[in-house]
Amino acid sequence: MVHTGACVAALMGQGGSKKYRLTWKWLQFFKNDRDRRDLVTCGSAAGIAAAFRAPVGGVLFALEEMASWWRGALLWRAFFTTAVVAIVLRALIDFCFTGKCGLFGTGGLIMFDVTSANVTYHLVDVPPVFLLGMIGGILGSLYNFLLEKVLRIYSLINEKGSAYKILLACSISIFTSCLLFGLPWLASCQTCPIDATEACPTIGRSGNYKKFQCPPNHYNDLASLIFNTNDDAIKNLFSKNTDAEFHLSSIFIFFVTCFFLSIISYGIVAPTGLFIPVILIGASYGRLVGMLIGSRSNLNHGLFAVLGSASLLGGSMRMTVSLCVIILELTNNLLLLPLIMLVLLVSKTIADGFNRNIYDLIMKLKGFPYLKAHAEPYMRQLTVGNVVTGPLQLFNGIEKVSNIVHVLRTTRHNGFPVIDEPLLSVSPVLFGLVLRAHLIMLLKKKAFLLTPVPTGTDDFNQFTAVDFAKKGLGNGDKIEDIELTEEEMEMFVDLHPFTNASPYTVVETMSLAKAFILFREVGLRHLLVIPKFSGRLPVVGILTRHDFMPEHILGMHPSLINRWKRLRIQFPCWDKIF
């Protein structure tokens, strides 16, 4: 759902899809970097809001996990989106109340309602909850560790082709089915409780007490967990009325099975989530702890299951406020909030000691150049000049067409500095930064001059704002597609009107950490590096996202790898003074 929401939003940000004729004129206003980013963030917030019926949790998830660059306006937009989601969802539930829409809306607005549970806990309950959080943190980081290893293997297999992908998915699917069908044979049959509120035993799709292989009036507790939907299993585990329903051994088997199955299921071509499996694993883990502690605690097993889910979510996803609100909105139990906060604190703190959160690990594995929110300590030891690489490609304010074509064909850079040779000065001056996409547009429209003399703003009239709008992914023109005659190649282009005349710049002696903060907080794509002393060229290089990636920096300065952990903060520490 999160992914779906983000995809729909991204499609809107591209102005609809031309291929499928889903395009509207007004969507053009979103055709730029900033609005597209905002749309994707709001889309994912809406996804969470719809999937978990947690609108506020959705906003906070987008804030904490999605948005790499947060603006005040974005908070309002995300809130607007999820509010609309909440209202529509509530209206549809209302509309479907009579059962017109199948199973939709039967759960109401709260998925795993535990309001009815009597929450009385005292100071003596804090140590077991603390312990639960600690083990949850360790389990969460173990989950991340194993998932990363499995994904690494899967990506090797998936690279070999579609046949391998399908084969992998099929074998995992068959293995899962066999395991899930075989496992309940391990559990012994239980007598149906006399005061059961629902039918016992049952065979069909729904129902708490599954018959499986058991004689009449008996049920198999492991089968009851496995042959239910995930949602119902979680509801059962969270419920306070099921303290006697499950045996310790069944819960243990269920926990171990879920833990490993969810790890090997993620990363195959079929869409499998992370959130609901982790909640389920956590719920069974919490139940297990609750059963082991037994009557020494005032909390019932259902509440332990909720706290177990919180601890595993905290240990794996490492979010704080958003998890807190999502759990609150899922379970509707405000009185448990202090304990949930405690568990999240403990599990996140412990898990952070082992590895990074699961989304970071996956993004790193997929090779996305995602910048962390903080500068690494070793960045303080380097200047911007230390990491700028490669031959710099410059354009003059009025540049020959053949030069532009040559540079665009031989490099993959997306931005180029433009310099001017002023009449009054000896050294050239930095005029600005021109984007690859805009250069290609200029070449395509053939806005050329015969002589290298500026003509004023005449060129502008050929262009409309749409020409400079951000193109959809893969829809941008390529330099290879543009054909120019020999004559045109000898002509000139006046780049001045199309150049960003005031790009953000940093001096080459600035510490990398400070440049990183600028780059990250302002959400830049390119950062120009200018020399400290005016020399021949007015620009030293361009920093892009890739230049700030730890792999790139440590690759250039391998001596830092072992040294940076010993480094201390410089004196006086300019990072903290503004």
For its own copies, the binding residues in 208-247 under the rule CB under 8 A are none
Per the CB < 8 A criterion, the answer to whether 177 and 184 are in contact is no
Binder of its own copies out of 11, 12, 89, 387 (CB under 8 A):
89
Q: Which is nearer to its own copies, 19 or 25 (CB)?
A: 25
Could you tell me the smallest distance in angstroms from the CB atom of residue 143 to its own copies?
21
Note whether 413 binds its own copies by CB under 8 A.
no
The binding track of 372-411 with respect to its own copies, each residue x by CB under 8 A or -, is -xx--------x----------------------------
- 436 contributes a contact to its own copies by CB under 8 A: no
From candidates 523, 537, 554, 557, binder to its own copies by CB under 8 A: 523
Distance CA(429)–CA(425), nearest Å, equals 9
Q: Does 371 bind its own copies (CB under 8 A)?
A: no
Please list every residue from 117 through 146 that binds its own copies, using CB under 8 A.
Answer: 122-123, 126
The stretch near its own copies (CB under 8 A) out of 3-11, 145-153, 337-345, 403-411 is 337-345
**32 lies in the site for its own copies, by CB under 8 A:** yes
| Among positions 157, 479, 507, 537, the unique one binding its own copies when judged by CB under 8 A | 507
Looking at beta carbons only, is 273 or 385 nearer to its own copies?
A: 385
CA distance 278 to 360: 17
Per rule CB under 8 A, is residue 35 in the interface with its own copies?
Answer: yes
Residues 252 to 291 in contact with its own copies, rule: CB under 8 A: none
Cα 302 from Cα 125, distance rounded (Å): 15
Is 572 an interacting residue with respect to its own copies (CB under 8 A)? Answer: yes
DSSP 388: -
Among 505, 537, 550, 554, binds its own copies (CB under 8 A): 505
Least Å distance between CB 254 and its own copies? Answer: 29
Shortest Cβ 511–its own copies spacing (Å): 6
Q: Are the C-beta atoms of residues 310 and 323 closer than 8 Å to each other?
A: yes
Dmax (CA) for the chain in angstroms is: 100
**CA 395 remoteness from chain centre:** 37
Indicate whether 524 belongs to the interface with its own copies (CB under 8 A).
Answer: yes
- Residue 202 engages its own copies in binding (rule: CB under 8 A): no
Q: Is residue 264 within 8 Å of 90, Cβ to Cβ?
A: no
State which of positions 466-495 bind its own copies (CB under 8 A). Answer: 468, 470
Angle between helices 126-159 and 358-366 (to 10 degrees): 10
Single residue of 197, 295, 502, 562 touching its own copies by CB under 8 A: 502
Shortest distance, position 496 Cβ to its own copies, whole Å? 12
Tell me which H or E stretch contains 165.
Answer: helix 162-182
Indicate whether 439 belongs to the interface with its own copies (CB under 8 A).
no
Give the whole-angstrom CA distance, residue 236 versus residue 447.
69
Interface residue with its own copies among 104, 175, 181, 574 (CB under 8 A) is 574
Q: Which is nearer to its own copies, 152 or 374 (CB)?
A: 374
Alpha carbon distance, N-terminus to C-terminus of the chain: 42
- Block residue for tokens 């549970």: 117
Among 9, 46, 56, 404, binds its own copies (CB under 8 A): 56
Q: Hey, what are 473's tokens?
A: 């992914």
Binding-site member from 389, 425, 455, 475 for its own copies (CB under 8 A)? 425
Q: By CB under 8 A, is residue 111 in contact with its own copies?
A: no
DSSP β-bridge partners for residue 511: 383
Pairing of strands 492-494, 429-435: unpaired
Distance CA 257, CA 227 (A): 13
Long-range contacts of 349-354 (CB under 8 A, 24+ apart): 349/137, 350/133, 350/134, 350/137, 350/138, 350/141, 350/315, 351/137, 351/138, 351/140, 351/141, 351/144, 351/314, 351/315, 351/316, 351/318, 352/318, 353/141, 354/138, 354/141, 354/142, 354/144, 354/145
Indicate the residue among 171 and 427 with the shorter CB distance to its own copies. 427
CA dist 177 and 238 (Å) reads 25
CB 340 within 8 A of CB 324: yes
Q: Is residue 86 close enough to count as binding its own copies by CB under 8 A?
A: yes
Cβ proximity to its own copies, 86 vs 261, nearer residue: 86
Taking CB under 8 A as the criterion, the residue among 17, 106, 115, 475 binding its own copies is 115
Of 110 and 484, which has the nearer Cβ to its own copies? 110
Residues 61-80 that bind its own copies (CB under 8 A): 63-64, 70-73, 75-76, 79-80
399 sits in the region (left: phi over 0; alpha: psi -120 to 50; else beta) called beta
- Select 103 or 126, whichever has its Cβ closest to its own copies: 126
Structure tokens at 185: 């044979």
Under DSSP, is residue 187 helix (H, G, I), strand (E, B) or coil? Answer: coil
The position carrying tokens 């809130």 is 79
In the chain, DSSP finds a helix count (H) and a strand count (E) of 21, 10
